[in-house]
Amino acid sequence: MGGSTGARGYDLPMGQFVGKRGDSPQHIQNEYDMNRYLNELGVSVPQAQMEDGLMLTQMEEGQRLGFNPSAGDIRQLQRDFVPHATIANWDMLGLDRDNVIRRPDGTLSYVDVGGAGPFRAQGAPKGAAFGAKVGELDTLRNKNHELAGMSEADIGRSYDAYGGEDAMTQALNVLRHPDTRRIMQQRVQDVARRVA
What's the structural domain count of the chain?
1
The string of pLDDT tens digits covering residues 60-73 is 999 999 999 999 99
Whole-model pTM over 0.75 = yes
Would residue 130 count as lying in a domain?
A: yes
The string of pLDDT tens digits covering residues 125-153 is 999 999 999 999 999 999 999 999 999 99
Would residue 111 count as lying in a domain?
A: yes
Would residue 54 count as lying in a domain?
A: no
The span from the CA of 42 to the CA of 143, in Å, is 25
What backbone torsions phi and psi does residue 93 show, to the nearest 5 degrees? -100, -25
Cα angle: 186, vertex 85, 151; to 5 degrees: 115
Would residue 51 count as lying in a domain?
A: no
Tell me the residue range of the domain where 159 lies. Answer: 61-195
Nearest C-alpha neighbor of 121 from the set 99, 141, 139: 99
The span from the CA of 29 to the CA of 175, in Å, is 10
Residues 6+ apart with CB under 8 A from 89: 34, 110, 113, 115, 116, 136
The string of pLDDT tens digits covering residues 20-39 is 999 999 999 999 999 999 99
Would residue 161 count as lying in a domain?
A: yes
Would residue 185 count as lying in a domain?
A: yes
Would residue 131 count as lying in a domain?
A: yes
Would residue 93 count as lying in a domain?
A: yes
pLDDT computed for residue 8 by the predictor? 84
Kindly state the helix (H) or strand (E) to which residue 167 belongs, with its residue range: helix 164-170
Torsion angle, alpha carbons of 26, 30, 32, 34, to 10: 180
pLDDT at 4 over 70: no
